[in-house]
């Protein structure tokens, strides 16, 4: 692991434990085992380190969705996949994404960081809302809108359908963040949720 990678890893750990505002560049340098001047050879500021963490997370998400044959951001690129998917494959894909979000070390620490800072740091509060509410709902509403148009799904409001689909999954994610012992129960509920969602909105005869 390079020094730059170690800086990002140690910074994310510290941010997730203490919050972004309470961590200083010197704290990160100490955790890495280098002097602050050495850290500045790799990053200009704490904000620059944070931006680096965002890039690593985006790369990790892209890798995960690519392995599942998804784009994960652009609904137009995923509609063909979801229009043709069988229920058992939908269940598998949904659970794999859930487990990635729950167990990937960087993703989990970043979610904890945003949870800690959402009431103390306005920009991180906005990022929390964007990343865990606005963007997932926007993506799914766009996806469901196309699938309503092509007849894969039936229903009236893609925005409400997005809420129906995403809200229980997000709820189970936050539950498991607080109580790891509830994971098995959460996975069972997610499976039943996806099955029921498919039955309610399926446009297939």
Condensed to tens digits (0 to 9), the pLDDT of residues 158-203 reads 999 999 999 999 999 999 999 999 999 999 999 999 999 999 998 5
Name residue 153's beta-bridge partners.
202
Instruction: Give the residue extent of every domain in the chain.
Output: 1-52, 68-201
Both tokens of 14, joined, read 């510290």
Both tokens of 114, joined, read 């945003």
Q: How far apart are CA 192 and CA 88, in angstroms?
A: 12
> Per residue, what are the HEC states of 168-204?
HHHHHHHHHHHCHHHHHHHHHHHHHHHHHHHHHHECC
Q: Which fold has domain 1-52?
A: Arc Repressor Mutant, subunit A (1.10.10)
Condensed to tens digits (0 to 9), the pLDDT of residues 12-68 reads 999 999 999 999 999 999 999 999 999 999 999 999 999 999 999 999 999 999 999
> From the centroid of its chain, how far is CA 21?
22
Kindly indicate the confidence band of residue 110, based on its pLDDT and cuts at 50, 70 and 90: very high
For the chain, report the end-to-end CA distance as a whole number of angstroms: 53
């Amino acid at each position: 692991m390079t020094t730059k990678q170690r800086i990002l890893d140690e910074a994310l750990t510290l941010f997730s434990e203490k919050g972004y505002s309470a961590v200083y560049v010197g704290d990160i340098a100490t955790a890495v085992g280098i002097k602050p001047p050495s850290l500045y050879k790799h990053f200009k500021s704490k904000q620059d380190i944070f931006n680096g963490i965002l890039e690593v997370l985006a790369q990790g998400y892209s890798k995960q969705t690519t392995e599942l044959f998804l784009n994960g951001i652009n609904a137009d690129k995923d509609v063909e996949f979801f229009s043709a998917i069988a229920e058992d494959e939908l269940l598998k894909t949904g659970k794999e994404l859930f487990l990635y979000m729950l167990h990937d070390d960087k993703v989990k620490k970043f979610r904890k960081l945003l949870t800690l800072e959402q009431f103390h740091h306005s920009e991180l509060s906005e990022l929390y809302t964007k990343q865990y509410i606005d963007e997932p709902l926007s993506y799914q509403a766009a996806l469901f809108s196309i699938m309503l148009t092509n007849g894969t799904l039936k229903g009236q409001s893609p925005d409400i359908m997005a809420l129906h689909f995403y809200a229980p999954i997000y709820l189970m994610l936050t539950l498991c963040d607080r109580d790891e012992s509830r994971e098995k129960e959460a996975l069972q509920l997610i499976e039943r949720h996806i099955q029921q969602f498919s039955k309610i909105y399926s446009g297939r005869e």
